Structure 1
Amino acid sequence: MEVIIGKSDQIIEKAQAIRYQVFTVEQKIPNKVDFDGLDSASEHALVMNENQPVATARLTIDTDGSSVMARVAVLEAYRGHGIASMVVKALMDHATSQSVSSIEIHAHGYLRSYYEKFGFEFIKEVEVVGKHQLIEMRYQTVRT
């Protein structure tokens, strides 16, 4: 498996197809919530398995040097094999290579300990999307 990072229309289309399956079909999150208009301004990671996209996440870098990682999704048949960790780590490394100061994520509440393993710190509970309580977490790439 390999991770590809980019922002081409082709990469975005593949990422959106995975997200539609995971978020809209499986998790019943309204499509309009997922498609928030930030895809073209973001960099997308795709995990490819024999030329088939199986996982994705995106990174949106702000002008102040902060960033937001979002839309982490793995197709159901590929879960439980460390693929989500692969895509998260790849985007964290990419963010560091782009000199971002921090990475924020709004994750499902039950994933708090998962993201803490990467060094993310819990900030607060945020909105409920569909039936999912989200939490804000932050990773400081620059330690002072």
Structure 2
Amino acid sequence: MEAVIAKNEEQMKDAFYVRKEVFVKEQNVPVEEEIDELENESEHIVVYDGDQPVGAGRWRLKEGLGKLERICVLKSHRSAGVGVIIIQALEKAAEARGVSGFILNAQTQAVPFYEKQGYKVSSKEEFLDAGIPHLQMIKYRSF
């Protein structure tokens, strides 16, 4: 499996395909909430299994930190390490721009996954995003 930075229209379509499959179809997030005004200021990652898109995520600069967002994996590829590939690719892309700290809003059920990647819960209480409980998490790199 390979993570690539989406640089063309086809790769962006692949990222949106994965996001719509996971967030819109599986989790019932309205498409107009999923595809938002931040798409153009974000750098997108797509993970391919051969030529098939199976995972996606994006990051953007927010208050000096890399904000990781929209991280998702198709049901067929969960527990295959795709999530780790996405996180590593997003962090690497952000680090290439001088970022050494990262934040993300994790669905509460995914908190243990992010903790294994070195993230720590930073919000005091759960909050709803698209009707789904989340916690904010943070991670700093030490070089």
The normalised TM-score by structure 1 is 0.89
Residue 122 of structure 1 aligns with which residue? Answer: 121
Deviation at residue 9 of structure 1 after TM alignment:
2.8
RMSD of aligned alpha carbons: 1.7
SS in structure 1 of the partner of residue 18 of structure 2: helix
> How many residue pairs are counted as aligned between the two chains?
142
- 1:7 and 1:40 in contact (8 A); partners too: no
Residue 70 of structure 1 aligns with which residue? Answer: 69
1:117 counterpart letter in structure 2:
K
Matches within 5 A, 1:4-23: 4-23=4-23
Residue 36 of structure 1 aligns with which residue? Answer: 36
Structure 2 unaligned segments of length 5 or more: list them. none
Residue 58 of structure 1 aligns with which residue? Answer: 58
- 1:43 and 1:59 in contact (8 A); partners too: yes
Q: Judging changes above 3 Å, is the alpha-carbon distance between structure 1 residues 126 and 67 closer, same or farther for their aligned structure 2 residues?
A: farther
Structure 1 unaligned segments of length 5 or more: list them. none
1:43 counterpart letter in structure 2:
E
SS in structure 1 of the partner of residue 29 of structure 2: coil
Deviation at residue 99 of structure 1 after TM alignment:
1.1
Residue 24 of structure 1 aligns with which residue? Answer: 24
Aligned sequence identity (%): 27
